[in-house]
Structure 1
Amino acid sequence: MISQYTLYAKLAALAGVAALLVALGWQLNGWRLSGQIQTVKTEFAEYRATVKAAGERAQADVRTTEQAWQSKIEKVRTDANQQLTETEQRVADANAVALRLRKQLEHLSTRLTENPTTPPGSQAAPATCGMLTELLAETDRLAGVYAEASDRSRVAGEACVAGYEALLP
Structure 2
Amino acid sequence: MNALQVVPAWCWWLLALALVGGGQQLRVSWAQADAAGARSELADYRLEVSERDRRAVAQARTEEQRRQRAADEVEQNAQGELEVARADADRAGDALQRLQQRYADLEQRSRACGNAVTAQLSQAAGATARVRAELFGRLGEAVRFYAAEADRRGVAGRACEAAYDRVKG
Q: TM-score range by the shorter chain?
A: 0.7 to 0.9
Partner residue, 1:131 = 131
Partner residue, 1:6 = none
Secondary structure, aligned partner of 2:27: helix
Secondary structure, aligned partner of 2:125: helix
CA shift for structure 1 position 121: 4.5
Secondary structure, aligned partner of 1:119: helix
Q: Deviations over 1:89-139 (max 9, x none)?
A: 111222222222211212222223333446245232221122112212221
**Equivalent of residue 68 in structure 1, options 66, 69, 83:** 66
Q: In 1, are the aligned partners of 2:107 and 2:129 still within 8 Å (CA)?
A: yes
Partner residue, 1:34 = 32
Q: In 2, are the aligned partners of 1:91 and 1:144 still within 8 Å (CA)?
A: yes
1:100 aligned onto 2:111: no
1:78 aligned onto 2:76: yes
Secondary structure, aligned partner of 2:118: coil
Q: In 1, are the aligned partners of 2:103 and 2:133 still within 8 Å (CA)?
A: yes
The one-letter code matched in structure 2 to 1:69 is R
Query: Compared with structure 1, are the counterparts of its residues 120 and 86 closer, same or farther at alpha carbon in structure 2 (3 Å cutoff)?
Result: closer
Q: In 1, are the aligned partners of 2:111 and 2:119 still within 8 Å (CA)?
A: no
- Superposed CA RMSD: 2.1
CA shift for structure 1 position 22: 3.1
Q: Distance in 1 between matches of 2:45 and 2:16?
A: 42
Q: Distance in 1 between matches of 2:114 and 2:36?
A: 117
Determine what percentage of the aligned residue pairs are the same residue.
28
The one-letter code matched in structure 1 to 2:149 is A
Q: How does 1:1-169 map to 2 (within 5 A)?
A: 17-117=15-115, 119-122=118-121, 123-169=123-169
Gaps of 5+ in 2: 1-7
Equivalent residues, number: 160
Q: Distance in 1 between matches of 2:94 and 2:160?
A: 31
Gaps of 5+ in 1: 1-8
